[in-house]
Structure 1
Amino acid sequence: MRVLMAAPSSPARLHNLAPLAWALRTAGHDVKIAGRPSFVEEILRTSCVAVELESGDEAALAESAALAEFAELWRPQVVVSDARAPAGTAAARAVGAVAVRVLGALDEPDPGDADITLDTVPPSLRAEGGPARAVRHVPYFGPVVVPNWLRRKARRDRVLLSLTDETMFGPVFDAVAEADFELVCAAEAARVPAGVTMPANVRLVDSAPPAALLPTCAAVIHDGDAALALAAAAHGLPQLSLAGSGIAARIAATGTGRTGSVEGVRALTADEELRRAANAVREEISALPAPRTVVAELIR
């Protein structure tokens, strides 16, 4: 079976498609992922075949004559697209293929006009229901190398800190000082604002790849990163979001995390209610159909 995937120029959205692409390839199907020229290298990092679409808006695949032209030439039986790549559905219609739409953490549950809609967000973390088929979320962040420091067993609980706003370092470091866990943050010392005190339990590292680090963590602190929040949920980790986002608010509503200030952050790894709720969401995600199961249903 030939499967054409349409990905907008967003690594997070491409990574949401990658597990399904792998499931299709390992089942013996021919898979190609189409994207803009500036995004081809990112597609190749998934180990999939890339199709370069020379014309159209670089930011998204809202429309693309080039995608439809390639579909006419290659004649796929299935076209899979991200919610921000509606050109995929149009290309499917042009060649009589099955149109599959894949939703992620940033998408509304509206299935659009696709034939099949797959939702990688578990039902408990959706603001509202819809006709989409839930599929297990498989966290993927691209190729990673396990750093040497991570090969040694942690002496106490480990918490991942992921921030893009440097002004947050000070409040977070003050809040976690003397906490009974190790806070790991991938950042150069130069990123920490002058005058900020570095507690003994904070560890700055060159690389902290979530794919390697999350299985060793007891909790996660972030600034609303949807991909990291959903990955933490899949690993059953309590989390604190220091910035508002749709997925962070829904995680807080389920009792698996908190949003807002750093107050109470020291108890993040010791809160039994948070841990039980986080484990419940992890079990919910684990019980959903794996991508390979969905592939078998597509074939039938």
Structure 2
Amino acid sequence: MRVLVVPFPWKTHVFNMVPLAWSLQTAGHEVRVAAWPDLLDAVTSAGLTAVAVGPGETPQVRRARDRRQTSERAAAAKGAPQEGLDALFAIRPDRERLSWEQARRVFDDLVLPQARRSNDSMMEDLVALARAWRPDLVLWGAKAFAGAVAAEAVGAAHARVLYSVDVYTRMREDFLHAQALQPPEQRVDAMRDWLAAWAEKYGAAFCEDLVDGQFTIAPLPEAFRPDPRPTTLAVQFVPYNGPAVVPRWLAEPPPAPRVLMTFGDSAEDRTARLPLPVERIQEILDAVADVAMELVLALPPQARRELREVPAHTRLVESVPLAEVLPTCSAVVHHGGTWSFGCALRYGVPQLLIGRAFDAPLKFRCLERAGAGLAMTPAEVDGPAVRAALVRLLKDTALRANAARLREEMLAMPAPNELARTLEDLVAARRPGPVPAPR
């Protein structure tokens, strides 16, 4: 069969799709990855076939523009994006729902603006590609809604591929539940209106599959799937970080328990912002200077130059291949990014998450409920707080046991090669017939 892979237009999201794409390719299927032009190298360096869709601009230009637009919207809406982010922190693993006001803030201030910026510009190219190539299956990354529209436009089966906890299903269910309780004239749905307009342009009708996919591929253990559905397909998180070289110092065992501290910034992205100011990182280093450990601190060059003093037990690096370093670690402190989080789970490493990303609230609460790590927002961070959390990660046997348990659960999940066979069967069962001719 033909498989079209549509990642959300960011490098780490491309990486998230690579293991499954390769599993389908080595099973004998034709695989193409549709990506923004500035991400084509990330696709081809993984040995996959790329097709350009959308605008040609660098991540730095896009990030700067997005920051400017976010600031302008925040000023116009008197802080509405921040209010939407605050509403996310009301999401819990149990079934406590967002209110109508909170749900609308999340979609109107956070989800929809980002979705439009990332999808509108590639929608026409992607539908044209689907009509010309006629895929049997479209795998689209969470937030890459253009993939769902393209699949519906040509009658292809399609699945949403998560990179983290499924905060999107939770938010959508809460929104629809709260919407149904409103007077009919107040049941607005900007997300539906946006997707319906695109779908109708290409001869398809709106359905909730455009938001959640016909299937959802979930790469994390059950503890991080608080809203299971019959259409959820579990798969192991398999790390792929792009081209990497194993550092020589990994060949020797550490002199003390090794701790990795990384905030996810790539050396290739000089404009990336740390979740903490360098002054706060320095405060943390001062506070943990007497902790018996080997600290591996990964920071971009400018941040490293701004540090006042580095403790003697600290190895300062620009970046590290997580899949190689984390198996040697006793704990990890990170910003809650996809790869840091997934690799820590896969290798059974207790973790401290420091961040305020879109998926952070639900991820934080799932992790703490599973008893395998700790979490705090940047506003809660200071030297003593991080020191206390780090000491607990290193000494709390329950945290370590739970992290090891989650590793075993993850390794018991279907590998991407197994999921590839499941997808073959699902596509064969759902194949509706000939792909509709373009209008």
Do the two structures share a fold, i.e. TM-score over 0.5? yes
For residue 61 of structure 1, give the secondary structure of its aligned residue in structure 2.
helix
Deviation at 1:126, TM superposition (A): 3.0
2:208 aligned with 1:115, yes or no?
no
Deviation track 1:95-114 (CA, whole Å, cap 9, x = no partner) reads: 22211111121642529502
Q: Within 1, Cα distance between the matches of 2:165 and 2:412?
A: 22
Q: Within 1, Cα distance between the matches of 2:311 and 2:301?
A: 13
Deviation at 1:60, TM superposition (A): 2.0
Q: 2:141 aligns with which of 82, 101, 105?
A: 82
Q: Do the aligned partners of residues 172 and 116 (structure 1) sit closer, same or farther apart at CA in structure 2, a change above 3 Å counting?
A: same
For residues 85-104 of structure 1, the aligned pairs below 5 Å read 85-104=144-163
Partner of 2:374: 258
Q: Do the aligned partners of residues 70 and 239 (structure 1) sit closer, same or farther apart at CA in structure 2, a change above 3 Å counting?
A: same
Q: Within 1, Cα distance between the matches of 2:299 and 2:55?
A: 37
2:255 aligned with 1:155, yes or no?
yes
Partner of 1:289: 414
Do the aligned residues in 2 keep the contact of 1:109 with 1:129 (CA within 8 Å)? no
Deviation track 1:147-176 (CA, whole Å, cap 9, x = no partner) reads: 122222222221100132323322321232
Partner of 1:48: 48
Partner of 2:36: 36
Q: Do the aligned partners of residues 194 and 18 (structure 1) sit closer, same or farther apart at CA in structure 2, a change above 3 Å counting?
A: closer
Higher RCO (CA-CA < 8 Å; seq separation 6+): 2
Greater CA deviation, 42-51 or 25-34? 42-51
Deviation track 1:39-89 (CA, whole Å, cap 9, x = no partner) reads: 222222322111001459975235611111111111211111112111212
Partner of 2:295: 183
Q: 1:279 aligns with which of 390, 395, 404?
A: 404
Bigger strand share: 1
Q: Do the aligned partners of residues 235 and 140 (structure 1) sit closer, same or farther apart at CA in structure 2, a change above 3 Å counting?
A: same
Q: Do the aligned partners of residues 56 and 44 (structure 1) sit closer, same or farther apart at CA in structure 2, a change above 3 Å counting?
A: closer
2:281 aligned with 1:169, yes or no?
yes
Deviation track 1:245-266 (CA, whole Å, cap 9, x = no partner) reads: 2323321221111123314223
Q: Select the structure of larger CA radius of gyration.
A: 2
Greater CA deviation, 270-279 or 103-112? 103-112
Q: Within 2, Cα distance between the matches of 1:189 and 1:3?
A: 39
Do the aligned residues in 1 keep the contact of 2:284 with 2:387 (CA within 8 Å)? no
Q: Within 1, Cα distance between the matches of 2:33 and 2:44?
A: 9
Do the aligned residues in 2 keep the contact of 1:226 with 1:248 (CA within 8 Å)? no
Deviation at 1:183, TM superposition (A): 0.4
For residue 159 of structure 1, give the secondary structure of its aligned residue in structure 2.
strand
Q: Within 2, Cα distance between the matches of 1:39 and 1:205?
A: 25
Q: Within 1, Cα distance between the matches of 2:411 and 2:241?
A: 19
Deviation track 1:213-252 (CA, whole Å, cap 9, x = no partner) reads: 1111111011232431122111110011233423233212
Partner of 2:380: none
Deviation at 1:190, TM superposition (A): 5.5
Deviation at 1:192, TM superposition (A): 4.3
Do the aligned residues in 2 keep the contact of 1:162 with 1:223 (CA within 8 Å)? yes
Q: Within 2, Cα distance between the matches of 1:14 and 1:279?
A: 28
Q: Within 2, Cα distance between the matches of 1:292 and 1:189?
A: 38
Equivalent position amino acid for 2:346 in 1:
A
2:345 aligned with 1:229, yes or no?
no
For residues 201-240 of structure 1, the aligned pairs below 5 Å read 201-240=313-352
TM-score (norm 2): 0.63
TM-score (norm 1): 0.91
Q: Do the aligned partners of residues 99 and 217 (structure 1) sit closer, same or farther apart at CA in structure 2, a change above 3 Å counting?
A: same
Q: Do the aligned partners of residues 47 and 167 (structure 1) sit closer, same or farther apart at CA in structure 2, a change above 3 Å counting?
A: farther
Equivalent position amino acid for 1:128 in 2:
D
Equivalent position amino acid for 1:215 in 2:
P
Bigger helix share: 2
What are structure 2's unaligned runs of at least 5 residues?
Answer: 63-116, 173-207, 264-273, 377-384, 426-439
Kindly report the root-mean-square deviation, in angstroms, between the aligned alpha carbons of the 2 structures: 2.4
- Identity across matched positions, percent: 35
Deviation at 1:35, TM superposition (A): 1.2
What are structure 1's unaligned runs of at least 5 residues?
Answer: none
For residue 169 of structure 1, give the secondary structure of its aligned residue in structure 2.
helix
Equivalent position amino acid for 2:402 in 1:
A
Paired residues, number: 300
Q: Within 2, Cα distance between the matches of 1:103 and 1:233?
A: 16
Greater CA deviation, 154-163 or 244-253? 244-253
Q: Within 1, Cα distance between the matches of 2:56 and 2:229?
A: 31
